[in-house]
Amino acid sequence: MVVPPVTQTPPSTSPSPGQKATEAEKKKLQDLIRQGQEELKKLEDYLREVNNYPELPDNDPDYKVQKKDIWDNSKDTAPKKIQVFKEQLEKQTYTEKTLKDAVAEFIYYQFHAQIETMTRKIATYRKKHPNVAEVERLFSEKLKQTANSTYATLEGEALKTYFERDFLPVFNKIHSIIEELEKKSSQGELKKQDKVAEAQKKVEEAEKKAKAQKEEDRRNYPTNTSKTIELEIAEAQVEVAKAELELAQAQAQTPQDTDKINTAKAKVETAKSKVKTLEKIKSDSGRAQAGDQKPSMPAPDTKPDLQPQPEVPSTSPEPKPIPQPDGKQPSTPKEPENKKPSVPTQEKPIPQPEKPKPEVKPQPETPKTSKIITASDGKTKVTVVFDKAVDADKVNIKEVTTKELAEKIARQTGGGTVRIFDLSLSKGGKETHVNGERTVRLALGQTASDVHVYHVKENGDLERIPSKVENGQVVFKTNHFSLFAIKTLSKNQNVTTPKQIKPSVQHGQTQIGENQTGKFQNKEVNHKPLATGNETMAKENPTSATEKNLPSTGAATNLVLEIIGLLGLAGTSLIAMKRRK
């Protein structure tokens, strides 16, 4: 900022007599008038510049002396001096002295106006960038006007020296500090805006990929109404991109909202976790399919393995009952008779409605509930009961229709019908996470009595959760929300498997039990691994499952012939004994 020089009165010259003296005086007066007009223009410019910045606060002690004791007086006096000068020029009442006084006064108020403008700038800097230590120190030590240290009493060269040597350099230093801060802040803002733009671009790319995957699935599977695992992953990646965009926008705001940023971060983690879970399911599904294809080769080998197994009963301790015909002849038919009722014993677990009797006991806990939230997706209704107040106002339910995931869980849990639900809580339309136990009731429509509930972990593992069926609803407790798999087994599924096995594989089961364990076991124990191993195939193709059991039927026929022979020998011995008597 250029400081106008203080004009000194030009030295007087000795006027020549006559006309020459008059011309010299006129020239001096014209020079003073021109100088006065130049300084007046500078003063008017400085006064206008002052008005470009907010006035100093009235009650701030840092600016009290500058505002009240100096500037309020200067801003009232300077216009009056300007008006006097203009009137003198208009009326030509000026003299050499009045012109010199006007020039000096204009320069004086120029310094006052510049100091006021710079002080107002500093006040703006300090408000925008509070607690900048160096700025605060420089202002307090060098620029702050006090009753004991003020430029109000300075005039002429003393005022000029104060402004140029003491005030202006300190102001320029403060200005440089603030300018550097704002430059860094501007760069930071640009980086934040770049991050927002980059996040927006990722959302568009993710949506484009999801759309392309959906179109590909439509072409490849025109009749499939379920989503493929690839489409589920693509849509989950869209949610990740949107959550990251929301986080970038929250971080770009000034001032930043910490709660909003933390909520956005939680959304990002949740969305990424879902993608990770789906990718793990896809990976496991691929391995499972490869595993299913490999055992299909040795499957025929297992059939010839079963055919030589009838040789084992030929060396079995069946000849031992021959020397003991009296007591063990009737025992041989009794054993199968005892084994036959053993199969119905498996039907005993079917009347499971007895379980609700002890499970009804938790119902008195309902008076403790502090919040109940209910929602429905049109097919399934969910009710969540909390024992205490929670920071949520809505429960969200979404059925995951990924076929690969349902099939994988069905295989891991031994078959059945599997439905998967994604449960979450929200408040004000934004997803939230609430800790603490809650009771979940799912109304799935027609619900079988045999229901299993599993928590699907992020890594794809399953965790069995205790559950029950109450008033047609699946009821279970959990302390968090994520993916839950509901597996149901109908009564037909529980009963048909032992009925198919009972008439055709009585002895065959015993042989398999012997080969697996090295000992003869009862039918009930041997039946369980057999049913588990073939359960999925039996459901999909009962005819093929029956055909796989046919080799064991041939082994059973051989055993029946041997038993008939033994019974004939036993009958002959009984007749001989009666004749002896």
pLDDT, one tens digit per residue, over 419-445 is: 999 999 999 888 888 888 999 998 877
Q: Which pLDDT score, from 0 to 100, does residue 175 have?
A: 96
Q: What sign results for the dihedral spanned by CA atoms 122, 123, 128, 130?
A: positive
Do 33 and 134 share a domain, yes or no?
Answer: yes
Do 31 and 120 share a domain, yes or no?
Answer: yes
Do 23 and 145 share a domain, yes or no?
Answer: yes
Domain boundary residue, one of 469, 489, 509 = 489
Q: What is the mean pLDDT of the chain?
A: 76
For helices 96-128 and 72-91, give the axis angle rounded to 10 degrees.
150
Asked whether residue 309 is assigned to any structural domain, the reply reads: yes
Asked whether residue 91 is assigned to any structural domain, the reply reads: yes
Do 506 and 407 share a domain, yes or no?
Answer: no
Domain boundary residue, one of 465, 489, 513 = 489
Write out the residue range of the structural domain in which residue 60 sits.
19-153
What mean pLDDT do residues 481-509 have?
Answer: 57
Q: Which pLDDT score, from 0 to 100, does residue 488 have?
A: 87
Do 193 and 268 share a domain, yes or no?
Answer: yes
Do 31 and 136 share a domain, yes or no?
Answer: yes
pLDDT per residue as tens digits for the range 497-554: 433 333 333 333 333 333 333 333 333 333 333 333 333 333 444 444 343 444 444 4
Q: What sign results for the dihedral spanned by CA atoms 48, 53, 54, 56?
A: negative
Asked whether residue 231 is assigned to any structural domain, the reply reads: yes
Task: Give the 3-state secondary structure of 16-69.
Answer: CCCHHHHHHHHHHHHHHHHHHHHHHHHHHHHHHHHCCCCCCCCCCCCCHHHHHH
The answer for residues whose C-beta is within 8 angstroms of residue 475's C-beta and 6 or more apart is: 439, 440, 441, 442, 467, 468, 469
Q: Is the pLDDT of residue 325 over 50?
A: no
In contact, 27 and 83? CB cutoff 8 Å: no
Do 31 and 145 share a domain, yes or no?
Answer: yes
Asked whether residue 176 is assigned to any structural domain, the reply reads: no
Output the six-digit token pair for 227.
């989503």
Please tell me the distance from the alpha carbon of residue 518 to that of residue 144, in angstroms, as a whole number. Answer: 101
Question: 504 versus 159: which is more confidently predicted?
Answer: 159
The type of residue at 543 is T
Q: State whether residue 387 is helix, strand or coil.
A: coil
Please tell me the distance from the alpha carbon of residue 206 to that of residue 538, in angstroms, as a whole number. Answer: 42
Assign 465 a pLDDT band (cuts: 50, 70, 90): very high
- Burial of residue 117 (CB within 10 Å: 0-12, 13-18, 19+) is buried
Q: Which pLDDT score, from 0 to 100, does residue 238 have?
A: 95
Do 459 and 508 share a domain, yes or no?
Answer: no
Q: Is the pLDDT of residue 577 over 80?
A: no
Number of H helices, E strands in the chain: 20, 11
Assign 15 a pLDDT band (cuts: 50, 70, 90): very low
Q: How many domains does the chain have?
A: 4
Assign 90 a pLDDT band (cuts: 50, 70, 90): very high
Do 45 and 109 share a domain, yes or no?
Answer: yes
Question: 201 versus 315: which is more confidently predicted?
Answer: 201
Please tell me the distance from the alpha carbon of residue 252 to that of residue 194, in angstroms, as a whole number. Answer: 10
Question: 48 versus 193: which is more confidently predicted?
Answer: 48
Do 92 and 53 share a domain, yes or no?
Answer: yes
Do 96 and 127 share a domain, yes or no?
Answer: yes
Q: Which pLDDT score, from 0 to 100, does residue 542 have?
A: 42
| Residue 243, domain CATH | 1.20.58.440
Q: Is the pLDDT of residue 297 over 70?
A: no
Q: What sign results for the dihedral spanned by CA atoms 535, 541, 545, 548?
A: negative
Question: 565 versus 456: which is more confidently predicted?
Answer: 456
Asked whether residue 6 is assigned to any structural domain, the reply reads: no
Counting Cα atoms < 13 Å in the Cβ hemisphere of 311 gives: 5
Do 407 and 513 share a domain, yes or no?
Answer: no
In contact, 452 and 475? CB cutoff 8 Å: no
Asked whether residue 175 is assigned to any structural domain, the reply reads: no
Domain boundary residue, one of 489, 523, 553 = 489
Q: Which pLDDT score, from 0 to 100, does residue 218 have?
A: 86
Give the percent of the chain with pLDDT over 90. Answer: 39
Question: 226 versus 24: which is more confidently predicted?
Answer: 24
Q: Which pLDDT score, from 0 to 100, does residue 501 have?
A: 34
pLDDT per residue as tens digits for the range 41-71: 999 999 999 999 999 998 899 999 999 999 9
Question: 131 versus 492: which is more confidently predicted?
Answer: 131
